């Protein structure tokens, strides 16, 4: 089976992109396709604790992130430089591996297909 890496670069409040990137991953997981997600740039905000999506009349994405492991998607990565630039940390209940910029290149090479959203 060909594997796929989703690079998720948008904050959860900037429009439908964060959710639609996650939906590609969940759909792939449902078909047992080897999937991974790399959160980078503003995408790292999706991993932050204490979000109040309802104040923006939005649905909270964090529940969908917790569902990833139920769909067999355990390979979650976050760009260390994007976290540092924004001074944020991923929520502790989520197991996300931090990768340096040079490791990102290796990561992209490891997967057959890549989608950046």
Partner 1 sequence: MKFAITVFSPPYSPSSRRALRFCEAALAGSHEIVRLFFYQDGVYNASGAIVTSQDETNLGHEWTRFIESNSLDAVVCIAAALKRGVLDETEARRYQRPGDGVVNVPWALSGLGQLHEAAQQADRFIAFGGS
Q: What whole-number distance in Å separates Cα of residue 99 and Cα of residue 54?
A: 31
CB of 92 to partner 1, least distance (A): 28
* SS3 call for 113: strand
Residues in contact with partner 1, shown as a per-residue x/- string from 27 to 46 under the rule CB under 8 A: xx-xx-x-------------
* Structure-token pair, residue 107: 């990561």
Q: Does 24 bind partner 1 (CB under 8 A)?
A: yes
According to CB under 8 A, which one of 48, 88, 94, 117 is a site residue for partner 1?
A: 117
Binding region for partner 1 (CB under 8 A) out of 20-28, 52-60, 79-87, 92-100: 20-28
Using alpha carbons, list the distances in angstroms from residue 27 to 43, 83, 102.
Answer: 19, 27, 29
């Amino acid at each position: 089976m060909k594997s796929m890496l989703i690079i998720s670069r948008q904050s959860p409040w900037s429009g439908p992109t964060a959710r639609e990137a996650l939906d590609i991953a969940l759909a792939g997981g449902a078909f047992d396709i080897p999937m991974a997600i790399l959160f980078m740039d503003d995408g790292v905000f999706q991993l932050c604790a204490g979000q109040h999506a309802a104040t923006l009349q939005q649905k909270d994405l964090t529940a969908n992130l917790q569902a990833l492991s139920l769909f067999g998607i355990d390979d979650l990565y976050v760009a260390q430089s994007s976290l540092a630039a924004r001074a944020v940390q991923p929520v502790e209940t989520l197991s996300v591996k931090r990768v340096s910029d040079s490791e990102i290149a290796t990561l992209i090479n490891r997967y057959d297909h890549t989608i950046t959203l």
